[in-house]
Structure 1
Amino acid sequence: MRKNAYINARVDKDLKAKAEKVLRRIGVSTTEVVTMLLHQIVLRKGVPFDVRIPNDETRRAMADLDQGGGERFDGTAE
């Protein structure tokens, strides 16, 4: 397959650097990962991971966690 199209995307500089560090460790380039992602989108006819709009209850729980709230547990038995 010929590679003759470009994708430009603005992302956070720190996020990009962290992702590239991980990708270097596993031996793939950002271009290769984007290509893999696009292939998966085509194969699945959608994004290859769960994307949902949170409901009101979930939004409240997320906001509570962002503000330091919520409960912590040591394991799943609690």
Structure 2
Amino acid sequence: MMEKTFLQVRTDKVDKEKASAILESLGTNLSSVVNMLLKQIIMTKSIPFEVKMTPNYSMNEVIKEVQASLTMENMPLTEDDIHLLETYQNSTISEKENIRNQLIAEYTEE
């Protein structure tokens, strides 16, 4: 039988609560995911996900990037599109999922 030990981690209370809620909705918990992480570190002898600096783009930079992509496809970026981008960027995870589902429904309707 495997000997168990306790692992203490200091983290932000709000981050722990948010992560725990997400994991619960996925049918697991923080302790199980930490154990999965440890097993993956052992198996891969690495951090099992990409660690990188995420650029902090301004809304104007995001709009210009999307506008450039759409221009390459001969699709204009409208004021409604810009408003949607701003709303999406300032949304919670569940709100982003709702926006995503609305867009999928809108563009896949026959």
1:50 — aligned with what? 50
1:71 — aligned with what? 62
Which 4+ residue blocks in structure 1 deviate beyond 3 angstroms? 74-78
More helix by share: 2
2:34 — aligned with what? 34
**Structure 2 length-normalised TM:** 0.51
Amino acid at match of 1:12: D
Q: Deviations over 1:9-46 (max 9, x none)?
A: 11111111010001111111211100000000011101
Q: Percent identity between the aligned chains?
A: 30
For structure 1, which runs of at least 5 residues remain unmatched after alignment?
none
Amino acid at match of 2:14: D
The structure having more radius of gyration, on CA atoms, is: 2
Residue-pair matches, total: 69
2:21 — aligned with what? 21
For structure 2, which runs of at least 5 residues remain unmatched after alignment?
72-110
**Structure 1 length-normalised TM:** 0.69
